[in-house]
């Protein structure tokens, strides 16, 4: 089982890859999801965003055997909150294994 720090850096890296922005762009300004959609050339709307979350979750499943399901998040949610939700899910002992 990877430690929390390892998981956090994995989620940051994968999420940035999937939205098509750098980790620095994404997390240093703590972008909201709506700003993220505007800034990313890969994103048109919240369905693209949902897909970026899904790819990150699928990566966690494939590489660490962790199953993460994210709730619907409003577009004014900052990415730090998204990261916290991901971390809460992967460290939650009640979650289902992959």
Partner 1 sequence: MSVLARSLEHEEPPVASPQIVPSEGRPAIMAELYDALTQKGLSLVDITWEQQRLHESRRWSVVEMLSTVDFTHVGEADRHLVWNAGRAELTTKPGADRLERLADVECRRWQEKNPTVAAIMQACGTWSRYWNEEEAHHETAFNRLSTVLRLERISDATFIEFRKVFPDDDMLRTLTLLSISEVVAAVDYGQCSQMVQDPGLRALFKQVAADEVQHMNYFVSFAKALVDSGAYHAKEAFAVAHLFLRDGGELHGSKRERVESRDTHVNWWDQLEHREGFYAPDALRKKEQLIFHALKRITGITVTSREGVEDTWMDLVGC
Chain positions contacting partner 1, by CB under 8 A: 44-47, 50-51, 54-55, 57-59, 62, 69, 71-72, 74-75
**Smallest distance from partner 1 to CB 28, Å:** 26
Minimum CB separation of residue 19 from partner 1 in Å reads 14
Instruction: Give the nearer residue to partner 1 in terms of CB position, either 73 or 87.
Output: 73
d(CA 97, CA 64) in angstroms, rounded, equals 10
| Look-up of token digits 């709307």 | 45
C-alpha distance from residue 37 to each of 7, 41, 56, 75 (Å): 24, 8, 16, 9
């Amino acid at each position: 089982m990877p430690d929390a720090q390892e998981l956090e850096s994995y989620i940051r890296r994968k999420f940035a890859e999937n939205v098509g922005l750098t980790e620095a762009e994404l997390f240093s300004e703590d972008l909201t999801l709506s700003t993220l959609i505007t800034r990313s050339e890969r994103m048109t709307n919240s369905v693209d965003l949902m897909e970026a979350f899904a790819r990150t979750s699928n990566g966690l499943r494939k590489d660490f055997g962790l199953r993460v399901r994210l709730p619907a998040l409003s577009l004014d949610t900052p990415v730090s909150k998204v990261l916290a939700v991901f971390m809460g899910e992967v460290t939650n002992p009640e979650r289902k294994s992959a």
